[in-house]
């Protein structure tokens, strides 16, 4: 008996949407990969300068400046001065040292996130429309955040080896080494000298910082939207749409030390001048690194590109 379900034409028609969805998903992923590569290339000089500041490399002498209250202070060079110094030493191409591993990391992150979302789809969450719904949606926020956390952790673990390679390529600027050149030679060097563990140097504080950032950002945005934004306010929907963005900026400042420690541990005791005394102590664990930075007052070193003041201890030594 012929039915609509077993007609050849109908069967083909039922399979076409799935093919279209797969093709569409692949096209979107490709576009995201290309866009991510472009953004990574454009922002790389910023992150390069930031990394050199994080590891404490200050090749330029501070300049005397005054605060808005007229007090004289010593300022360390900002981004543009630092970038010009790199160009003088390595040329304009020098600003893109360590870029290829970062592009690879960005591409792998996009693919991993896409595959994990397909394997572990998020539950459909209904839009909340009033204050009562917002109060009862905490469980939904927890489920969403848990899903995002799994995706973020798997993505970070998959891409961290390329982050380590990129950081070490950039850190070579300090000692003018050529140890890490080329993606495959970098992989071979790390595996030969440190084993598999070398690819995951600093991964714990990096993952921990991202998890704390995710939970704090989402929960704070939820509570603010629930209890601080009144529905009687005409612009309440617009305010709620920007809450998570604002919270992200605020929380990123608080979790910055985790990113700093992760980058320092990626370089620490890896055979580069930047990761051994006198440039840096050798840390047995990331907690020791955190304690050292906290004691020196450097937990937020590299968090700013402009108006960087000389640390108080250094100023005191200079005055003496």
Q: What is the pLDDT of residues 64-83, one digit of tens each?
A: 877 777 788 888 888 999 99
Query: Can you tell me the mean pLDDT for 216-235?
Result: 79
SS3 category, 64: strand
pLDDT at 127: 47
Nearest Cα residue to 103 out of 166, 54, 47, 48: 166
When computed from its CA atoms, the radius of gyration of the chain, rounded to whole angstroms, is: 24
Confidence of residue 232 (pLDDT cuts 50, 70, 90): low
Q: Is pLDDT above 80 for 39?
A: yes
Specify the range with the lowest mean pLDDT, choosing from 188-192, 210-214, 234-238, 275-279: 234-238
Percent of the chain with pLDDT over 90: 53
Contact indicator for 36, 106 with CB cutoff of 8 Å: yes
Between residues 141 and 161, the one the model is more confident about: 161
pLDDT at 4: 44
pLDDT at 117: 84
Specify the range with the lowest mean pLDDT, choosing from 8-22, 123-137, 144-158, 165-179: 8-22
Q: How far apart are CA 91 and CA 97, in angstroms?
A: 11
Contact residues for 227 (Cβ-Cβ < 8 A; gap 6+): none
pLDDT at 22: 56
pLDDT at 20: 52
Q: What is the pTM of this model?
A: 0.82
The Cβ-side half-sphere exposure at 11, using a 13 Å CA radius, reads 6
First-to-last alpha carbon distance for the chain, in angstroms, is 100
Between residues 117 and 191, the one the model is more confident about: 191
Q: Is pLDDT above 60 for 18?
A: no
Confidence of residue 314 (pLDDT cuts 50, 70, 90): very low
The Cβ-side half-sphere exposure at 105, using a 13 Å CA radius, reads 22
Specify the range with the lowest mean pLDDT, choosing from 13-27, 211-225, 269-283: 13-27
CA distances from 9 to 23, 39, 41, 104, 164 (A): 21, 45, 48, 43, 53
Nearest Cα residue to 82 out of 60, 102, 51: 60
Between residues 122 and 93, the one the model is more confident about: 93
Q: Round the average pLDDT of the chain to a whole number and report it.
A: 83
Spell out a b/e string for 261-287, using b for 16 or more CB atoms within 10 Å of the CB, else e. Answer: bbbbbbbbbbbbbbbbeebbeebeebe
Sign of CA dihedral 144, 149, 152, 158: negative
Confidence of residue 24 (pLDDT cuts 50, 70, 90): low
- What CATH fold (topology level) applies to the domain 18-319? Mitochondrial carrier fold (1.50.40)
pLDDT at 43: 93
Q: How far apart are CA 36 and CA 195, in angstroms?
A: 30
pLDDT at 135: 54
């Amino acid at each position: 008996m012929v039915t609509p379900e077993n007609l050849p034409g109908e069967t083909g028609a039922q399979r076409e949407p799935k093919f279209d969805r797969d093709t569409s998903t692949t096209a979107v992923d490709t576009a995201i990969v290309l866009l991510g590569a472009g953004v990574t290339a454009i922002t790389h000089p910023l992150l390069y300068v930031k990394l050199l500041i994080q590891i404490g490399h200050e090749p330029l002498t501070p300049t005397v400046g005054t605060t808005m209250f007229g007090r004289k202070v010593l300022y360390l060079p900002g981004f543009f001065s630092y970038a010009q110094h790199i160009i003088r030493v390595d040329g304009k191409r020098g600003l893109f040292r360590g870029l290829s591993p970062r592009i690879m990391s960005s591409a792998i992150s996009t693919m991993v996130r896409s595959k994990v979302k397909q394997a572990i789809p998020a539950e459909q969450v209904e839009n909340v429309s009033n204050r009562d719904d917002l109060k009862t949606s905490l469980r939904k926020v927890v489920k969403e955040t848990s899903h995002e956390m799994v995706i973020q952790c798997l993505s970070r673990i998959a891409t961290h080896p390329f982050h380590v390679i990129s950081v070490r390529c950039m850190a070579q600027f300090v000692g003018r080494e050529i140890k890490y050149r080329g993606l495959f030679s970098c992989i071979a060097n790390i595996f030969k000298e440190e084993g598999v563990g070398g690819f995951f140097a600093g991964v714990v504080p990096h993952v921990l910082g991202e998890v704390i950032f995710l939970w704090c950002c989402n929960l704070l945005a939820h509570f603010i939207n629930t209890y601080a934004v009144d529905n009687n306010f005409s612009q309440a929907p617009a305010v709620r749409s920007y809450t998570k963005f604002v919270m992200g900026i605020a929380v990123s400042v608080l979790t910055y030390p985790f990113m700093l420690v992760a980058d320092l541990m990626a370089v620490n005791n890896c055979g580069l001048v930047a990761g051994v005394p006198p440039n840096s102590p050798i840390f047995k664990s990331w907690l020791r690194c955190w304690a050292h930075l906290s004691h020196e007052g450097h937990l937020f070193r590299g968090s700013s590109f402009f108006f960087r003041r000389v640390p108080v201890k250094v100023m005191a030594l200079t005055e003496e």
